[in-house]
A and B are shown apart, each in its own frame.
Chain A
């Protein structure tokens, strides 16, 4: 894991703990309303989702702006999404169910919305496990493949959120719009890259200009990976796609 203690990074690290602090204060002052267990549980889940959206927003942000070097912030926000998701799961098991496994078992088996929560959490868990830099290096190409599952986790998390509601769609719809925008942006970049490929590599001329074009394509298609490689402070050899 990277621990570059510049000011902004430390600040972000601290700010991301505010929701938890706020929750602890509300709990201490009995400010969680008539159903405090559910309120605590749901607020933790909400924060996990919010950090997930923030995590997913980093790459498009890097692409549209000229800002670079946000990879470690993406990692930080992702880890916070996992952190709040873990607290959410623990609140469910400990606070709501007091670890009565027979009741928990039935609840999970019969509640479809929980299945999607479990799926999202398993993905989160494996992504968090492979989040450190050494894991990234060791996994090579597979790391990116694995971490693409974040989209599946995002979808599962929305269904998890939406299916426990009795029918009020406003907030999950808002989240759905965010995810569609974030995903849509990536699809757009991908389509554009494909078009560029066609334009830039006319048939017949493929071999002479290939090397040059590939460098150009890489810059457009995978800005975050390039960034990552450039930022790699360990000085080891870059992996090429």
Chain B
């Protein structure tokens, strides 16, 4: 958990929301220190209060979804930088260094630069977004993300009219990421991309937390993309760079297996993966003998996003 107590919060008079949210805990911790003489850090470490707590729910998200238990979401995530095995990836991801964190925003924008995450958060309104996440491996979960709309961040840096695509780059940290160190399988660092209209869509968010708490390292801390109508691998974790560019970026999975993973990768039950069906999905958290869920076009967000692809052959642009 990141506790900002240092004075070098860069260039901002706005209180770090982490500190703001934890002010009661800080008081408690201080009292505890006075009473017991213990270290503040241990008081923080033992605290179980969520960082963000109850945030206003975003109107774009569907709140009728049944949220998947947090324990499942925290223990079932692909993170190939650490391991090809989900369980191992979760434990190895704890080595990731996430503090301090800054994001470089560059390319076809009026105000390129490197921004501290604290500064970005200071300017954004955090909300809770309850989204279904559909993995290309034919499972799904419903996650209450804490985040803000990507569009509002991009508007701050003022995209030029020549910005047609957005390229996201994840962290390159081979000292903590064994598969990067071994140069294994995919080309590192991980790269993902969106068309500018997809990036500006109100459903597209950058997440910094989930379940009212900060983002666990295995789930993409400290900053990740969430695009709910696309397969999970599009929602890149640990973002360090956002570039607005003229031409479509070459994305990691698309480059690795272009026939299997398209640039768009919109959830579509009618377009099977070359080796397996995408018609149905296992909802995590359901018990044995529960039928699979019928996968929906655009993961059920068709009302909001189908217009982005009108006139396009979704079989060709998979």
- On A, residues with C-beta under 8 Å from B are 33-38, 40, 94-98, 100, 103, 106-107, 109-114, 163-164, 166-168, 170
Contacts and interface: CB of A to CB of B under 8 A. Distances in A.
Contacts of B87: 33
Interface of B: 71-72, 75-76, 78, 84, 86-87, 136-137, 139, 185, 256-257, 272, 274-280, 282, 284, 288-292, 294
A34 B71 contact: yes
Contact of B84 (A33, A94, A107, A168): A168
Contact of B279 (A37, A110, A112, A164): A110
Given A107-B279, A170-B84, 15 more contacts: A34-B75, A34-B284, A35-B139, A35-B282, A97-B292, A98-B290, A103-B292, A106-B277, A106-B279, A106-B280, A111-B276, A111-B277, A112-B276, A167-B256, A168-B185
Nearest 4 A/B pairs, CB to CB: A110-B277, A34-B76, A168-B84, A110-B272
A10 B174 CA distance: 51
B292 A96 contact: yes
A163 B284 CA distance: 22
Nearest to A108: B277
B276 A100 contact: no
B136 A166 contact: yes
Given A35-B76, A100-B292, A167-B257, A112 B284 contact: no
Query: What DSSP secondary structure best describes chain B's contact surface?
Result: loop
Contacts of A106: 277, 279-280
Contacts of A114: 276
A99 to B, nearest CB: 8
A38 B284 CA distance: 10
A170 B182 CA distance: 14
Contacts of A35: 76, 139, 282, 284
A103 B139 contact: no
B75 A98 contact: no
A98 B277 contact: no
Query: What DSSP secondary structure best describes chain A's contact surface?
Result: helix
B51 to A, nearest CB: 23
A98 B256 CA distance: 35
Contacts of B76: 33-35
Contacts of B136: 166
A113 B272 CA distance: 12
B185 A38 contact: no
A164 B275 CA distance: 7
Nearest to B285: A34
Contacts of B290: 98
Contacts of B294: 103
Given A110-B272, A111-B276, A100 B282 contact: no
Nearest to B135: A166
A106 B272 CA distance: 10
Nearest to A98: B291
Given A33-B76, A98-B289, A167-B256, A113 B279 contact: no
A166 B137 contact: yes
A164 B274 CA distance: 10
A95 B75 CA distance: 22
Contact of B75 (A33, A97, A109): A33
Contact of B288 (A95, A109, A167): A95
A38 B139 CA distance: 10
Residue from A36, A37, A38 having most chain B Cβ neighbours under 10 A: A37
A163 B87 CA distance: 21
A163 B275 contact: yes
B73 to A, nearest CB: 8
Residue from A97, A112, A114, A167 having most chain B Cβ neighbours under 10 A: A167
